[in-house]
A and B are shown apart, each in its own frame.
Chain A
């Protein structure tokens, strides 16, 4: 084999580079996100439940928001009835963020963990901190 020394060094450097994310994180303990439900509105709720069961919300709040966006802005529907017949106004700012007014300790807690940047706050207003994303 020609230049086996160089090739092997090359492969070693390549592997070191590609595996960088793995060994840089060895031993680092990443805490599970703990979205905080401690807001005045949720405290005052009789039934401490979201607009859908929590495990469904966790997995599909993205699709729900997408659907709400279309319902409100294209079809003019503003009433959302949950399966147990509670009624909500279809609105990101006035409904979701009314209960989850602790944006940073709730939505951001998870979103920072999965490193996503939700573009909605370019326009939608976050309670208190208006331009925070």
Chain B
């Protein structure tokens, strides 16, 4: 006869094996369909952006913001405090507060600067996200959002020193002028931000803002010394937003 103790042991061990096997097999299944087919993709080890603020005038700014916000179904809420922004303008002195010197050029102070997610190398938003909805893609350093995991705690908004994240206080759909059927919208209660157009990069197309910027914005691989962006960074003096915070932003501005 088998004792109760023995029975429990066997039952326990077989249950553990079962769970282990189920876990492994689902892992294998999920892994199996990942292809290493990299064709059609733009490849970099560390994406970065160069923005020549001298080449961007008022019309350019509007065109760039429109291009981004229309393809990504970004809503236009009435209340400016609830605004959802992927790329927007900030006065120079607010974008670069540490540049406030005693004799700073006056024309600079209020100059509108295009700002967006900086795709930091040391992103505070990723560190604070409790669900890993925001994560840093190992392949190319993009700081991305998996919208399916975001439950709207907004820690990332508190963590991001650049204000690059927005919250949907309302259902965004009625506030989208024309829905782009090729991209999803969002829903009430999730956070969103610039995605560096990863959905375009992964299909071999440069980000939308860069495409319509007439050469004022350039993306490229910061880890490749021969890339266009590295050549630009070698030739021009550039600054980054709030470098003293240690987030290592990857968007460089020529002022």
Which A residues lie at the B interface, using CB under 8 A? 67, 69-81, 89, 92-94, 122-125, 127, 130-131
Contacts and interface: CB of A to CB of B under 8 A. Distances in A.
B242 interface: no
A131 B199 CA distance: 23
Contacts of A123: 147, 184-187
Contacts of B198: 76
Contacts of A74: 135, 137, 144, 146
B37 to A, nearest CB: 5
Nearest to A126: B181
Contacts of B137: 74, 76
A74 B29 CA distance: 16
A79 B140 CA distance: 18
Given A73-B147, A93-B184, A130 B37 contact: no
B148 A124 contact: no
Contact of A94 (B34, B37, B182): B182
Interface in B170-211: 173, 179, 181-187, 198-199, 201-203
8 tightest A-B contacts by CB?
Answer: A122-B187, A123-B184, A124-B184, A76-B202, A73-B146, A78-B202, A125-B181, A123-B187
Q: Size class of B's contact patch?
A: 20 to 34
A34 B12 CA distance: 45
Nearest to B187: A122
A76 B136 CA distance: 12
A79 B203 CA distance: 9
Given A76-B140, A79-B40, 9 more contacts: A69-B148, A71-B34, A77-B34, A79-B35, A79-B37, A93-B182, A123-B187, A125-B179, A127-B181
Contacts of A73: 144, 146-148
B40 A78 contact: yes
Given A123-B147, A123-B184, A75 B34 contact: yes
B54 interface: no
Interface string B3-44: 000000000000000000000000001100111010111000
Nearest to B140: A76
B173 A131 contact: yes
B22 to A, nearest CB: 13
A81 B34 contact: no
